[in-house]
Amino acid sequence: MDMTPAAWLRARPALTGSAPALHPGSVPDEPLALFLNWITTAAEAGVAEPHAATLATVDVDGVPDARTLILKDVDERGWAFAGTRSSAKGRQLAAHPAAALNFWWQPVLRAVRVRGPVREASSDESAADLAARSAAARAGVADGDWVLWRIVPSRIEFWQGATDRRHTRIVYTRHGDGWLRSWSEGEDARKGANEEESA
């Protein structure tokens, strides 16, 4: 590097992807349907591992931690991921059963943030997830140590960047049995004027 780190970093291009058409007023009422649409679109646009995400947790002292992992499943029950109970994330989730999961799909200029309480799946589901792994990946995992967890989202944000900086942000917030949906585009933040409720 023949310049300062700050100069080198400033010279890196950002938001170089190409955003697909998006009509925030006509997205699905449920975040799950929009998530499935966005992750498949990311895969079709060439994202090699669209199911890789950053999971953030907090430790017993309230200090944040984050690491990359793989989304194992997603349905009405939540966004599922797996790992060992004895890992840092396992200990942190035992102390603070809440997390945030962040996806970034560069070619389509899109990111998704999922946050909420975390629930441990049944021991049968955790065992089934472990059994589905390769023999090499199963080796060394102690009995009962493998856990499937689900983030039960309280808030999901779908963010799409724009080269003119008129970024779009669609936010679903859990409201009773349904979702509140709001969105904003660039400076034209019409949040509030466009809040919609679904049940």
Answer whether 25's CB lies under 8 Å from 170's CB.
no
Is residue 53 near ligand FMN by the rule CB under 6 A? no
Is residue 69 near ligand FMN by the rule CB under 6 A? yes
User: Residue from 31, 47, 89, 160 that binds ligand FMN (CB under 6 A)?
Assistant: 89
The least distance separating ligand FMN from the CB of residue 66, rounded to whole angstroms, comes to: 8
Is residue 133 near ligand FMN by the rule CB under 6 A? no
With a CB cutoff of 8 Å and minimum separation 6, the contacts of 67 are: 54, 55, 88, 89
The least distance separating ligand FMN from the CB of residue 41, rounded to whole angstroms, comes to: 20
Residue nearest to ligand FMN (CB): 83
Is residue 198 near ligand FMN by the rule CB under 6 A? no
Distance of CA 114 to the CA centre of its chain: 5
Backbone dihedral angles phi then psi of residue 147, each to the nearest 5 degrees: -130, 135
Number of CB atoms found within 10 A of residue 180's CB:
15
Is residue 67 near ligand FMN by the rule CB under 6 A? yes
